[in-house]
Structure 1
Amino acid sequence: MTTWLNFAVVLLLTCAPWGAQCVYKYRLPVSLTLVKNTTATTLGAYCLDGTLPAYQFNKGFGSGIRNWLLHFEGGGWCNDVESCLERAITRHGSTNYMDKVGTFSGILSDNVSLNPDFYNWNRVKLRYCDGASFAGDSKFDNGTKLLYFRGQKIWQAIIHDLLPLGLANADKALLSGASAGGLAAFLHCNEFSSFLPKTATVKCISDAGFFLDAPDIAKHYTIRTYFNDVVSLQGVEKNLDLKCTSSVDDPRLCFFEQHLLNYIRKPVFILNTAYDVFQLYNIFVPPTADVLKQWSHCKHNITTCTTTQIETLQAYRQLMIQTLDDFYKHSASGGMFIDSCFAHSQIERQDNWFAADSPTVQKKKIAEAVGDWYFERTVTKLIDCLYPCNKSCKNLLPA
């Protein structure tokens, strides 16, 4: 089975094709910090291979000294022992393979011109090394092979490290994440608020984490089967929201944001493209649903899609909009930015987050929409028009 990391062949692009925003190459170097050994040992918090989990922390300053932004790293999942063993010898399964110094940009930037609302907050990136969106709690040990599925413990251990650094006294807090990390932000949103003062303003944002519980083009629920395997293998079910799990036929469905959404008590923001390329590759048109490879060209270059394929993509977009309809109409505290770009994980990309030519919906950039929502400057629920209407998109596929 696949580890579904980030389909790097598709996503590894440089700024070269887009020209102007190449001026936004500023990256803040931030060192890797291992969770304290005593904390990890007490909680049993280990990466897949048994190494200590890690995070990157850049201290806030000025007016942001008591405000905190915690951001979950993304990186897919693993759903069986074989794929988790493969993952355990990568940076998504072991801190041994992580760079000792990483970079912050986008919502994690410390530059006011690049991140006007959160630049001086305490900013933390929770590094991902478990394979179940920081939600598992089990172990595999057959005597010769050992894997720790301790995502829930990793999350708690990092929190315990941060509380004495000032998180315990936070005035404002934002829990965010991208892709699998975006899902983690919603899975842990309620719990996050329990660590903070009751007077703190706590909100959560998911970037590219709204994976639709929907059939693929062959009418198979590929993603549901995959998520069910992740939940079962890594002991996630006991950590899912109890109100959600008691309301659905299969508790494992609460690993999907769309089923969990109504049970999150804090204000949430959904940042997603309606044409998410990860979902296009792995959920809507996975290889198992396209054995004749009729979608091969379309998945790599939107301009080669047939009229029928474009209509199929528009129907998938419409399904996402319909799924979010209740949230759009009835969530007084919720925010949305649903663009029509062929993209994935936009919050850490400076050219997507806030740059001179960043994508806009109704004349707002992502950073502006998120800031307006968090600080309640205005109601922010933005849904883009149909592809190919938005010429500001930074598409990861030619379009």
Structure 2
Amino acid sequence: MFHARSAQLLYLLVSVLILLKTEGFNVGITYVTNAVAKGAVCLDGSPPAYHFDKGFGAGTNNWLVHIEGGGWCNNVTTCLARKNTRLGSSKKMVTQLSFSGLLSNKPQFNPDFYNWNRIKVRYCDGASFTGDVEAVDRATNLHYRGARIFLAVIEDLLAKGMKNAENAILSGCSAGGLTSILHCDSFRALVPMGTKVKCFSDAGYFINAKDVSGALHIEGVYNEVVMTHGSAKNLPASCTSKMRPSLCFFPQNVAQGIQTPLFMVNAAYDSWQ
């Protein structure tokens, strides 16, 4: 019985890997080098980056901007731990990234968006692209500039054709899903007025609730994220005008104030939360 079960699991794993290999294709990295002069840099001071697969046919003027996830760093210690990894430096990112799922270019796998302009924005600031601290501590050389990165990347995409967008979607997963919520209205404000804009958050609805030990752990983490990264001024004003800025990292306090159409997908049970 055990061996039969193991064989079934192995078969399933191999099938998934074959499917991903069939569906996925590699897309090269783009470094936004002109962003450095604006101070829009990763934790280590390197330029922000994204992967871009150009749309075609009927999707030429449609854009899907997907934000990578990867949690947060909430103090100097945790940000230093990320600084020399792909979550803190574009120098450590792979130059070729596999696109699949919503980013696939094959209609059988991605019938709605396969021919759109599809972008994956790499995550290297540690605060869901909300931070903006001008000063840089020489001892750590940490840069908290996530909000500047978001703006610089969108401006770069506008220059590459998104200024002509008919439809534009801001999406993301996990910490990137939170970004798609927090930046939903600001994304709408950056694209042309006539563009139809929607936002999609996949597993980005983090709740303010006690953990199994009875502590409000994630609230404490978000308090430190906002303080460390100077995020308060870049969070939705519809929320920060009513409550402590760190509470505005929770979608339950933000979603009702968002004016742009927003769609959220979340697991009914999340073992991490």
The alignment's TM-score, normalised by the length of structure 2, stands at 0.92
Kept in 2, the 8 Å contact 1:36–1:161? The answer is no
Structure 1 counterpart of 2:250: 256
Equivalence for 1:237 = 232
CA distance in 1, matches of 2:209, 2:80: 28
Q: Match of 1:83, as an amino acid?
A: T
| SS state at 1:163 partner | helix
Which residue does the alignment assign to 1:154? 149
Which letter does structure 1 place at the counterpart of 2:130? A
Instruction: Work out whether residues 139 and 147 of structure 1, in 8 Å CA contact, stay in contact via their aligned partners in 2.
Output: no
In the alignment, which residue of structure 1 is the partner of 2:36?
A: 40
Q: 2:51 aligns to what SS in structure 1?
A: strand
Supply the distance in 1 between the matched residues of 2:114 and 2:220 (Cα, whole angstroms): 40
Residues in 1 aligned to 2:251 and 2:238: alpha-carbon distance in whole angstroms = 14
- CA offsets 1:21-74 (integer angstroms, 9 cap, x no match): 44422211000100032x331x21010000011000000000000000000000
Shift of 1:251: 2.1
Structure 2: distance between partners of 1:17 and 1:113 = 20
Shift of 1:197: 2.0
SS in 2 for 1:147: coil
Match of 2:98 in 1: 103
Residue aligning to 1:90:
85
Instruction: Please list every run of 5 or more consecutive structure 1 residues that lacks an aligned counterpart in the other structure.
Output: 1-13, 280-399
The aligned runs of 1:280-295 (5 Å cut-off) are: none
For the 8 Å contact 1:54–1:127, the answer to whether it is kept is yes
Matches within 5 A, 1:221-370: 221-248=216-243, 250-279=244-273
Amino acid at match of 1:268: L
| CA gap 1:16/1:35 in 2 versus in 1, 3 angstroms | farther
1:244–1:259: 8 Å Cα contact kept in structure 2?
A: yes
2:25 matched to 1:31? no
SS of aligned partner of 2:81: helix
Q: Is the 8 A contact 1:48 1:93 kept in 2?
A: yes
- 1:275 Cα deviation (Å)? 1.2
Higher relative contact order (CA 8 A, sep 6+): 2
User: CA 1:15/1:185 → structure 2, altered by over 3 Å: closer, same or farther?
Assistant: farther
Cα deviation 1:220-246 (Å, max 9, x = unaligned): 110000111001100101101111111
Whether contact under 8 Å (1:208, 1:276) holds in the other structure is no
Which residue, 51, 54, 61 being the options, matches 2:49?
54
The aligned counterpart of 2:6 is: none
Does the 8 Å CA contact 1:16/1:22 hold for their aligned counterparts?
no
Kindly indicate whether the alpha-carbon contact (under 8 Å) linking 2:226 and 2:245 is maintained by their aligned counterparts in 1: no
Query: For 1:197 and 1:100, how far apart are their aligned partners in 2?
Result: 30
Which residue number corresponds to residue 179 of structure 1? 174
Letter of the 1:24 partner, please give it: L
Q: Secondary structure of the equivalent of 1:55?
A: strand
Displacement after TM superposition at 1:219 (Å): 2.0
2:143 counterpart SS class: strand
Residue identity matched to 2:29: L
Instruction: Give the number of aligned pairs.
Output: 263
Aligned residues of 1:32 and 1:100 also touching (Cα < 8 A): yes
Quote the Cα distance in structure 1 between the aligned partners of 2:266 and 2:11: 24
Q: Give the alignment partner of residue 115 of structure 1, picking from 105, 110, 115.
A: 110
Q: Deviations over 1:101-145 (max 9, x none)?
A: 111110010010000000000001110000000110015644322
Deviation of 1:217 (Å): 2.1
Amino acid at match of 2:198: K
Show the counterpart of 1:292. Answer: none
In the alignment, the residues of structure 1 paired with residue 269 and residue 261 of structure 2 have an alpha-carbon distance, to the nearest angstrom, of 25
Matching residue of 1:135:
130
State the one-letter code of the partner of 1:263.
G
